[in-house]
Amino acid sequence: MWISFVLLFGLVLRRSNCEYDRNNAATGIKLSTNNELSVSASNAFLNFGVVINPFNSSTKDVRKHCNVGYVSTDYFVHSIGVIGAASNGTNREMFMFAFAGEITTKSTLFICLVTVSRSTCNAQHQMTVLHSADKPQNYFLIGIDSHATFVYGFTSTMVFKLEIATNQIVQNLTLETLWPSIIFLPHAFGFSDQWAVVVGYGFNRSEKKNYAIMECLIDLISLISYSCETLIVESTYLVPSNLLSYNELYEVSVAIRHENVLVGIHRLNTIVILKKNQTSLTKIHVYTVTSSSLTSFGRLVGWVDEQTIAVVAYHSLYSSWSQSQIFFYDKNSVSSTSPLYTFPNNQQTIGNQLFQPHFVRLVITSNGNLALLTDYSLVIIVPASPINYASMWVEPSATAFVFYYSPTPCIGGTFSHEFGLGPCTICLPGTRNPGIARSDGTSCISCSRNNSNSYCPLAALVEFDLNTMTSYSQVTAYPVSADTTNFDDILLENMFETDSNFSCMIISPFFWTLIAGAFAFSVWIMMAVIKLGKWQQYNRYRTRVKTIFMHTDLIREGQRWVGGLATIAIIVLVSFAYWFSASFLKRYPIEEVSEPANFACDSTLINAKFATGLDLLAIPQSIDAQRMFNLLDNQIFNITVELINTGFTCDSISVQENLIGTQYANLILSCERSKWNAVTSVTFTLPDHYSSVQLNMTGPHWASAVRICLRGESQTIMNTMLHALDFCQLFSAPNQTLAHASTIPFIMTKIINITKSMEKNRPITYSGLWLSSVHGASLFNEAFYTEFGNYLRYTFALTTIRITFDERSFYIKNIQEPIVRTRQTVFQALLFTSLVIELFGFSFLLAKLFVLPIIRRMLAICHKYRDRAQHTLSSQSANMGSIYINLEVERWPAVECLPSNQFQPNDIDDIEIDCISHELRRHIYLPNYPCKYLWTRQTAEPRLICLEKSKDESGDRLENSNSQLH
């Protein structure tokens, strides 16, 4: 007997396990919800999950949930329909729902009304048995009309109508009676006030082939079928066995709102929108959405409002919270890229307690609230949120079958402009939301744009000034050698600089040389005036001055006093040359030159010439150079990532080093958050120069811009100096946000500066630094949203910035050496001094060869005309006992001269003899004696000498020559 019992139990258990899948929540209607009550059924746990006032989170008429167990363990519930508050209940204490079930041991179908007490969760059951079936039902569907008056049910063989108030079946028809011309298998239906739409598979009874998806419009009052039409014509034949037994592939869904009907056919990734006429349905839109990552589009459908529809599909890429995703569309625009938003999203996440569920049932109430049933019979309650709010996940305090969302003010940088189920959307460019929570929510406000650098892009929290975070680098362009790197040319160019600029003129050597020349010329004029002005009392001073200048004559080696005057200009010019040379010598190396060159018109003058080239790192280096490379290789990099205009906080940020494959190692970071300017700064140390690091930011936030900074400390060893690394690069784009996955590739290049010493016997100085550059950074994906849908902004739970480093196989070698060294400067200055003296001597030579002969010729012409006038005067003077001697300009031999103090000034008249050239310079007139006034080089004393060579007026030779006057 016990053996028989065990065998019987095993057969029953086997049949139950095979024909009644208690873990499958997708079959039938395991969730039914309205604004008052939500009920789910779990055959695995043999109970109902009841939630009273599911969408109410206020303290008034509070929400409550409880479990109501099955009456019998052999019950199998196919479908549920909620009624709401019982009409005979007081103070909304009693709530009712109906369920369609089957007694598994007898395959008996029944309908049951359940009344639940809010306070005690005790339940009362009213069962009505329908009939016994030959085999377990795969489709036993029920629904409640909008007035909660009747329960309507469909099986694979019959249709019935149960009056709730009396718990009596008022109508019971076979499917053949309802649809006499076709074989029709209902798979889903939707209810309105007085009519319903049933969707299933059917074919003509006479042909019995070419199964098609059909919709039938039914009058609920009299339970008659108005019309049945094919929804989608298929080219393939459907296998009847797949339709008669349950197969999720052939599931369809229906939703009705007022006169609009929405049908989802996930096997074809198609939804159909219909409009009810009097007794038929008219197709308005047929949408087929296909994508490599999107499957089962239309598995569940619902109406959010008159214009917005919800469609459930499986999405494999963009959701880390669930395997199913709800796409919300405008009913006139349905495509893979046109969703308005999705659920879940990065603001409306699903907790880990649900283990990435599938959605098997979707219900949207008349008020726009959402209820979901997962494949593990867990319930999600999402109330519609008011303006500037979004319903967000509430962490449960205890284990339960139901999980709630609660309206929460929009996060910073977002807003919501309507009542609904979706997330808050990002603020438009030119607006901002600081994210300060208030009881009435926060909306985006306009940015003031006080200055041109005001940065108020998408998702802005604050109005940011980008001038406060600019890009910079300590690396500057290596200087290029001047056009002239020969010191001789530089010296000559700067000595004879002629610039009208006052600041340049005041330090110009040529200008001061002209001043000195002007002074010398004025002295020469004064000397000439003293000589020609008959101011004999100053002749002694004039003689001394001449003596002094003759001794300072560098041009003719003391032969001419005029050369002494020119020497003043030479000294000025050469002094400036020495000053320039000494100052120019100090302007090396360029690293030690901090002030402009105030000794020349060109303030950028430096005593350095440069050479730049590229060398391979593989080439062996000298000991000193290798020390520089070692310092560069061992420099530690500190990275600072500054997220600008962001809502990410320090708690939501982590940093990792990416290793081989998917392996990674967490890095220690320091983080600071500035609320007033919405900047989060993260700093960490790079493990090595070839690391790939990743910044992970979790949460529903964005960053408008980011600045990456690399920093490293300096170090000096002997004649080798490692410069500090300080590089910052700002990445921003107008009216965009950072992509959910960004990559910033840093290219690192070594720079080696070789500075040769001023003295060749001293060691070379090496300095080095890293040149950091970013090439091909991918940080903004506005094109991605444009191409694949703006809704994707809200689907990513993780925002990452990956930073990679790569080093060039070559390095930049900069060589700096002086244009002139100390010894060369001394030698060049001496050469310049000699050059200047020669230039002045050459100018005197040119004057003697070309200028003086012209002057003499002009004077001879003048004397010729003057002699004629004096000849007339001489004739007149002879009658007065005096002789007028007209002496032509001739050369005379040097003779002994008498002291000038033996003669009175009146004895002579404008007499000058150049004893060096022996030229007679003036005409003389003396009574009775023709004489000349000589200046001898030996005595430097003026003497009066009578002349032999003179002619009287008639041309006779005078005989009284060489007579001395006393």
Average pLDDT, the chain: 81
DSSP three-state, residue 857:
helix
CA atoms of 262 and 271, how far apart (whole Å): 7
- Residue 710: inside a domain: yes
Average the pLDDT over each of 196-200, 259-263, 788-792 and give the range with the smallest value: 788-792
- What total number of domains does the chain contain? 3
Considering the domain architecture, whether residues 682 and 739 belong to the same structural domain is answered as yes
Considering the domain architecture, whether residues 745 and 892 belong to the same structural domain is answered as no
Terminal CA-to-CA distance of the chain, rounded, Å? Answer: 187
Considering the domain architecture, whether residues 636 and 735 belong to the same structural domain is answered as yes
CA distances from 467 to 451, 472, 639 (A): 11, 12, 21
Considering the domain architecture, whether residues 568 and 680 belong to the same structural domain is answered as no
Sign of the CA dihedral running 71, 76, 82, 88: negative
Q: What is the pLDDT of residues 895-906, one digit of tens each?
A: 333 344 443 443
The average pLDDT across 234-246 equals 67
What number of other Cβ atoms are within 10 A of residue 109's Cβ? 24
State which of 239-253, 467-481, 698-712, 938-952 shows the largest mean pLDDT: 698-712
- Residue 666: inside a domain: yes
Q: What is the pLDDT of residues 277-290, one digit of tens each?
A: 988 999 999 999 98
Name which of 595, 587, 489, 493 is nearest 818 in CA terms: 587
- Residue 745: inside a domain: yes
DSSP three-state, residue 924:
coil
What pLDDT score does 532 carry?
66
What pLDDT score does 552 carry?
65
What pLDDT score does 447 carry?
87
Give the tokens for residue 838: 């020669």
Name which of 904, 896, 906 is nearest 964 in CA terms: 896
Confidence check: pLDDT of 125 > 90: yes
- Residue 8: inside a domain: no
Give me the domain span that covers residue 849.
Answer: 482-604+823-860
- Residue 633: inside a domain: yes
Give the tokens for residue 2: 């016990």
Beta strands in 546-620 (DSSP E): 609-616
Q: What angle do CA 618, 623, 628 make, to 5 degrees?
A: 70
CA atoms of 462 and 450, how far apart (whole Å): 13
CA distances from 723 to 337, 632, 717, 750 (A): 51, 9, 12, 11
Q: Higher pLDDT residue, 180 or 870?
A: 180
Q: What is the pLDDT of residues 362-406, one digit of tens each?
A: 999 989 999 999 999 999 999 999 999 999 999 888 888 999 999
CA atoms of 262 and 530, how far apart (whole Å): 124
What pLDDT score does 56 carry?
84
Contacts of 252 (CB under 8 A, 6+ apart): 187, 188, 199, 200, 213, 263, 264, 265, 266, 298
The average pLDDT across 850-864 equals 77
The average pLDDT across 32-54 equals 93
Confidence check: pLDDT of 933 > 50: no
Instruction: List, in sequence order, every residue forming a beta bridge with 364; answer none if it has no partner.
Output: 370
Considering the domain architecture, whether residues 813 and 829 belong to the same structural domain is answered as no
What pLDDT score does 556 carry?
62
DSSP three-state, residue 753:
strand
Considering the domain architecture, whether residues 650 and 793 belong to the same structural domain is answered as yes
738 burial via Cβ count (<10 Å: 0-12, 13-18, 19+): buried
Q: What is the DSSP letter of 797?
A: S
Confidence check: pLDDT of 862 > 90: no
Considering the domain architecture, whether residues 791 and 924 belong to the same structural domain is answered as no
Instruction: List, in sequence order, every residue forming a beta bridge with 252; answer none if it has no partner.
Output: 265
Q: SS in 3 state form for 176-226?
A: HHHCCCEEEEEEEEEECCCEEEEEEEEEECCCCCCCEEEEEEEECCCCEEE
- Residue 137: inside a domain: no
What pLDDT score does 1 carry?
39
What pLDDT score does 883 carry?
38
CA atoms of 359 and 264, how far apart (whole Å): 14
Q: What is the pLDDT of residues 724-776, one digit of tens each?
A: 999 999 998 888 889 889 999 999 999 999 998 888 778 889 999 999 998 88
Phi and psi at residue 15, in whole multiples of 5°?
A: -65, -40
- CB of 705 within 8 A of CB of 455? yes
Q: What is the pLDDT of residues 145-201, one digit of tens each?
A: 888 899 999 988 889 999 999 999 999 998 888 888 888 888 999 988 889 999 998
Give the tokens for residue 24: 């499958």
pLDDT interval class at 875 (50, 70, 90): low
Name which of 921, 881, 926 is nearest 908 in CA terms: 926
CA atoms of 265 and 275, how far apart (whole Å): 17
In this prediction the pTM is: 0.73
CA atoms of 243 and 199, how far apart (whole Å): 13
Considering the domain architecture, whether residues 583 and 717 belong to the same structural domain is answered as no
What number of other Cβ atoms are within 10 A of residue 900's Cβ? 17
CA atoms of 854 and 833, how far apart (whole Å): 31
Q: What is the pLDDT of residues 111-124, one digit of tens each?
A: 999 999 988 989 99
70 burial via Cβ count (<10 Å: 0-12, 13-18, 19+): buried
Average the pLDDT over each of 413-422, 481-490, 584-593, 917-926 and give the range with the smallest value: 917-926
Give the tokens for residue 457: 């892009």
What pLDDT score does 642 carry?
95
Name which of 103, 97, 101 is nearest 111 in CA terms: 101
What pLDDT score does 885 carry?
38
Confidence check: pLDDT of 956 > 60: no
Beta strands in 438-517 (DSSP E): 445-446, 454-455, 464-465, 472-473
CA atoms of 833 and 492, how far apart (whole Å): 11
Cis peptide before 344 (omega within 30 of 0): yes
CA atoms of 742 and 708, how far apart (whole Å): 13
Q: What angle do CA 524, 530, 532 make, to 5 degrees?
A: 100
Name which of 241, 268, 176, 252 is nearest 214 in CA terms: 252
What pLDDT score does 783 carry?
85
Helices (H), 595-750: 623-634
Q: What is the pLDDT of residues 425-475, one digit of tens each?
A: 999 988 998 886 554 556 888 888 766 678 888 999 988 888 888 899 888
- CB of 800 within 8 A of CB of 565? no
Confidence check: pLDDT of 311 > 60: yes
Considering the domain architecture, whether residues 786 and 932 belong to the same structural domain is answered as no
Considering the domain architecture, whether residues 527 and 656 belong to the same structural domain is answered as no
What pLDDT score does 494 carry?
77
Considering the domain architecture, whether residues 830 and 965 belong to the same structural domain is answered as no
- Residue 737: inside a domain: yes
Which domain-ending residue is among 766, 787, 817? 817
CA atoms of 199 and 231, how far apart (whole Å): 9
What number of other Cβ atoms are within 10 A of residue 64's Cβ? 15
Confidence check: pLDDT of 310 > 60: yes
- Residue 268: inside a domain: no
What pLDDT score does 207 carry?
67
Residue 804: its H or E element: strand 798-817
CA distances from 110 to 171, 173, 331, 692 (A): 15, 15, 38, 64
Confidence check: pLDDT of 76 > 90: yes
CA atoms of 260 and 281, how far apart (whole Å): 9
Considering the domain architecture, whether residues 547 and 635 belong to the same structural domain is answered as no
CA distances from 399 to 53, 402, 658 (A): 19, 9, 37
Percent of the chain with pLDDT over 90: 38
CA atoms of 31 and 40, how far apart (whole Å): 4
CA atoms of 913 and 891, how far apart (whole Å): 10
What pLDDT score does 278 carry?
87
Give the tokens for residue 530: 């003293």
Confidence check: pLDDT of 205 > 80: no
What pLDDT score does 831 carry?
78
Q: What is the pLDDT of residues 503-562, one digit of tens each?
A: 777 777 777 777 777 777 777 777 777 666 666 666 666 677 777 666 666 666 656 666
Average the pLDDT over each of 248-257, 514-523, 659-668, 781-790 and give the range with the smallest value: 514-523
**CA 446 to chain CA mean position, Å:** 23
Give the tokens for residue 906: 């009146």
Give the tokens for residue 924: 């003389």
CA atoms of 799 and 459, how far apart (whole Å): 15
Confidence check: pLDDT of 355 > 50: yes
- CB of 33 within 8 A of CB of 81? no
What pLDDT score does 656 carry?
96
